[in-house]
Amino acid sequence: MQNVDLKKPEFKRVSNVTWEIPETFKEGMRVPVRVYASEKLLKEMDLQVFDQAANIAMIPGITKYSFVMADGHSGYGSPIGGVSAFDIHKGGVISPGIVGFDINCGMRLVLTSLTLEDIRPKIKELTDALFKKVPAGVGSKSKLALSKQDFVELAESGSKWAIKKGYGWKEDLDATELNGIADWADDSKISEKAVQRGVTQIGTLGSGNHYLEIQYIKPENIKDSAIAKKWGLFPNQVVIMFHTGSRGAGHQIASDYIQIFLKVMERKYKIKVNDKELACAPFNSNEGRDYYKAMGCGINISFANRQLILHRIREAFSETFKKDAEKLGLRQLFDIAHNRASLEEHEVDGEAKELLVHRKGSTGSYPPGRREIPKKFRADGSPVIIGGSMETGSYLLVGGSNADDTFDSTAHGSGRTMSRTRARKTTNGKELFQKMLKNGIYVKSVSWSGLAEEGGESYKDIDEVVNSVDKAGLSKKVCKFIPLANVKG
């Protein structure tokens, strides 16, 4: 993915896992770029990552640094694994390209009272049931028949809409960021096309790196036994993790507002960006506020989508084990997103500032006491879910003591090292299926080509990524999960 036309930065080493690119790297940079990664991961990043992060460092209102996390790789306008905070009282902007197209895409982790021994005999039956219950793949459609009015209501009330309709438990809200609702959402700010694209997709996984995985905890993979016990984790426990977002509706909201911002950004607000994919508007402008409210709808659509999927998971487990979901202990541990712009207060040079923190392919990692943390976790720090590839495992962490350095942000996953096109050319989906089966991982996928895109070789080393953010103190390890079965789009 290296581009010979791009300039290679001169990195200043701040620590073993922290690197800085000075403002002199590109003309117009207002702040340096900071990268949190091991030396190995830094060398694996394509040059466009640093070029994109430098472009963001030129945008009005940016504060302290333009950040790249350990899983960083180039994306649309902004690196995936990027973090940037804008001072909204000093011309700070909001940008769909720095939020991400799949608004509020995120991870949900669900516990069970089952053990590895309980699940082994039923793993194929259970995975097949999940595959039937949760539609996956490009253009997958919901099993839920929603009216336009239903969709508009859930776009303003998120998980609360789903709970009210009977698709979940009230306690799920207490284990979800924002308690499952962006209360500033305004459905009048999203287009008819966004509604049309989203109304048939609630309760669906989608494609790409979205997945639903059954995992377990090896005893030696519990790294913080006190937190693990407090949060309900135990050796050989079976858990479920899934990754998806706002699907077509979120993509349309982003597309709509990029076009709106391109029309007004330079002409009306005199803002110039190095890349039109970073189209933006001042947060305190009519256009900026409209997108923020529309993004809120995308957030709620995402929460409702994951809530419906959790409901279907509970149904599949209940039907497979012939027991109520409550008796099987299918309790949500946490739901955390990684494509969002959040209004937060942070201390900058000794002064409290109201900032709009953009996290694209990066996760909130709040230390104990932050108001962003749901009350049940506030004394511990926020749970952080970092998904790996379907061959390698995933992690649960907790907000770290140095998270303030990155406006309380950390990595979100492994991060790709290979394009999907290249992965399809170099990996045979059927052979990958057999390899994973031999290694004790059963996969149910919509297509062989979709499976080929997501093999472990397409991603960075998840252990290396997590070790980097752990060493930096951005988030601390609680435990690692090992895959048993995977539903793929």
CA distance 99 to 421: 24
Instruction: Give the amino acid at 23.
Output: E
**Block residue for tokens 């996290």:** 359
DSSP 8-state assignment for residue 436: H
Tokens linked to 110 = 């669900």
Q: Is 89 a catalytic residue?
A: no
Residue of 300, 304, 329 whose CA lies nearest to 314: 329
Helix (H, G, I), strand (E, B) or coil at 442: strand
> Hey, which bits of 408-460 come out as E strands?
409-411, 442-445
C-alpha R_g of the chain: 21
Residue of 180, 182, 476 whose CA lies nearest to 341: 182
Tokens linked to 171 = 């306690």
CB 133 within 8 A of CB 313: yes
CA distance 44 to 193: 39
DSSP 8-state assignment for residue 416: B
Catalytic residue among 73, 210, 243, 412: 412
CA distance 26 to 330: 51
Please state the separation of Cα 253 from the chain's center in Å.
17
CA distance 229 to 245: 29
DSSP 8-state assignment for residue 487: E
Element housing 483 (H / E): strand 475-488
Burial (CB count within 10 angstroms: exposed 0-12, middle 13-18, buried 19+), residue 448: middle
Q: At what angle do helices 286-321 and 148-164 cross, to 10 degrees?
A: 60
Return the active site residues.
Answer: 412
